[in-house]
Amino acid sequence: MNLRAQEGSKAGPLALYGTPVVSRLFVGTAGYPSPQVLSEAVKASQAEIVTVSLRRETAGGRMGGQFLDLVSALGVKLLPNTAGCRTPRDAIATAEMARELFGTDWVKLEVIANDDTLQPDVFGLVEAAKALVSSGFKVFPYTTEDLSVAERLLAAGCQVIMPWGAPIGTGRGLANKQALMTLRAYFPGVPLVVDAGIGAPSHAAEAMELGYDAVLLNTAIAKATDPVGMARAFSIAVKAGRIGYEAGLMNPRDMAVPSTPVAGTPFFDIE
Amino acid sequence: MMVTVNGKRVETSAQSLEELIAEQALSDQRIATALNGQFVAADARVGTRLKDGDKVEIVSPRQGG
C-alpha cells in the first residue's frame, strides 16, 4: 500500500471538536528568555492554539496572575496541559483545576510513564481520557504512534490524537516515520497532530507532508538563538508542508528516471 | 493542626480550605485547589473542612508545552 498518497483529512479546513482552526502550528509557552520574547514569538508563529500549564503557587505569590494576563492578551485559544502527571488520578485533578482556572474544557492530556523518556503511560492515558471525556472535557491526548492505543483513545471519546514525533525536548524529529504514516493512513478522518520531538522547521514540514493536520512544539522555538525568527520559520514550514501535501507528493522510486526527455538526445545513437 | 500545602508541612489554625488560602495570602489570586488528590471547586472551598494530615494543592497558571 502506498501510504504516502493516502487521504488524510485533506479536504476542507481543520476543525477540532467543532472549532475551526486556520493555523496548523500550535506552540507552547515554556522556556522563553523573557515574557516579552514569548509574546513576540507567539505572534510571529501565527499560532491560534497555545499550550499552558499549572504549577504550585507560593504563599503570597503573584506569578500565576501575571502569566495569565500575558497569555490572555495574545488573543489565542489556550490548551492547558497535565504535564508531569504520573497517574490518571493526578491528571484528572489537574485537568479539573485547569478547566476552572483557564475557563476551557480543552485539555492536552499527559500521563507520563518514565522520567528519562517522558513517554506516555498509554494505559493510564486511556483510563484518564475515558474519565475526562465523561466529565465533559475535550481531550487532546499526548500519546505514542501506536495504532492500537489510538483506537482505544478514539473509543474513549477523543476526537483528536497527538502522537509524539520523538521524546519531549529532544528535537530529533520524526523518529518513527513509518508508524506515523500508518496512523495517518488508518485514520483518514481523524485530526492528527504531531506533538513533541520537533526540532527544526524541516521536521514540521515533513509531518505536514505526511498529511498530519497540525504540529505542536515548544522547545525548538523557545530555545532558538532567535525565538521570534524561529517562530516565523516554523510558521512558513508548516504552511509549505501542508500545501505540499495538498498538492500531492510524487512517489519515491528505487531507480533514477531522467526528467529531461530522452527522445532527441544529441549524439545518441539508437542503432 | 498540621497539613501539607504544596508538598510542605504547615501548622495552621484554618478550619476550611478558604481560610487556609487566606492564611497563605492567596485569596485574591487566580488559583485552583485540590484536597487529598481531589479537585475542589472555588465555590466549594468555604464548605471544605480541613483535618490534621490533609494534603492541599494550590496551583496557578504557568508556562507549559
Say yes or no to pLDDT of A253 above 90: yes
Query: In this structure, is residue B64 part of a structural domain?
Result: no
Interface of B with A (CB under 8 A): 6-7, 24-26, 29-34, 37-39, 41-42, 57-65
The shortest C-alpha distance from B50 to chain A (Å) reads 18
pLDDT at A11: 61
Q: Quick check: B60 and A57 CB within 8 A? A: yes
Q: What is the pLDDT along chain B (65 residues), one digit of tens a residue?
A: 999 999 999 999 999 999 999 999 999 999 999 999 999 999 999 999 999 999 999 999 999 99
Query: In this structure, is residue B47 part of a structural domain?
Result: yes
pLDDT at A10: 62
* ipTM (interface predicted TM): 0.97
Say yes or no to pLDDT of A8 above 60: no
Q: What is the pLDDT of residues A109-141, one digit of tens each?
A: 999 999 899 999 999 999 999 999 999 999 999
On the 0-12 / 13-18 / 19+ scale of CB atoms within 10 A, A256 is exposed
pLDDT at B65: 96
Torsion of CA A99, A97, A71, A125, to 10 degrees: -80
Listed by number, the residues of chain A in 102-141 with a beta carbon closer than 8 Å to a beta carbon of chain B are 102
Q: Is A108 a catalytic residue?
A: yes
Buried b (16+ CB within 10 A) or exposed e, A26-65: bbbbbbbeeeebbbebbebbbbbbbbbbbbbbbeebeebb
Q: What is the pLDDT of residues A190-230, one digit of tens each?
A: 999 999 999 999 999 999 999 999 999 999 999 999 999 99
Q: Which domain holds residue B27?
A: 2-59
Q: Which residues pair with A233 in a beta bridge?
A: none
Say yes or no to pLDDT of A9 above 90: no
Q: Quick check: A100 and B34 CB within 8 A? A: no
Read off the pTM: 0.93
The shortest C-alpha distance from A59 to chain B (Å) reads 5
Q: Given A56, A100, A218, which is nearest B65 (Cβ)?
A: A218
Residue in this structure with the C-alpha cell 504514516, named with its chain if needed:
A181
Q: What is the pLDDT of residues A60-115, one digit of tens each?
A: 988 899 999 999 999 999 999 999 999 999 999 999 999 999 999 999 999 999 98
pLDDT tier at A269 (50, 70, 90 boundaries)?
confident
pLDDT tier at A2 (50, 70, 90 boundaries)?
very low
The shortest C-alpha distance from A187 to chain B (Å) reads 25
Residue in this structure with the C-alpha cell 520559520, named with its chain if needed:
A233
Query: In this structure, is residue B65 part of a structural domain?
Result: no
Q: What is the pLDDT of residues A17-41, one digit of tens each?
A: 999 999 999 999 999 999 999 999 9
β-pairing, A49-56 vs A77-80, is parallel
Query: In this structure, is residue B54 part of a structural domain?
Result: yes
Q: Which residues pair with B38 in a beta bridge?
A: B35
Domain count, chain B: 1
pLDDT at B8: 96
Query: In this structure, is residue B14 part of a structural domain?
Result: yes
Q: Report the Cα A133 to chain-centroid distance in Å.
A: 20
Say yes or no to pLDDT of A5 above 80: no
Which of the residues A10, A77, A108, A130 is marked catalytic? A108
Q: Quick check: B57 and A56 CB within 8 A? A: yes
Q: Quick check: B61 and A30 CB within 8 A? A: no
pLDDT at A150: 98
**What is the domain-level CATH number for residue B23?**
3.10.20.30
Asked whether A174 and A203 are in contact (CB, 8 A), the reply is yes
On the 0-12 / 13-18 / 19+ scale of CB atoms within 10 A, A16 is buried
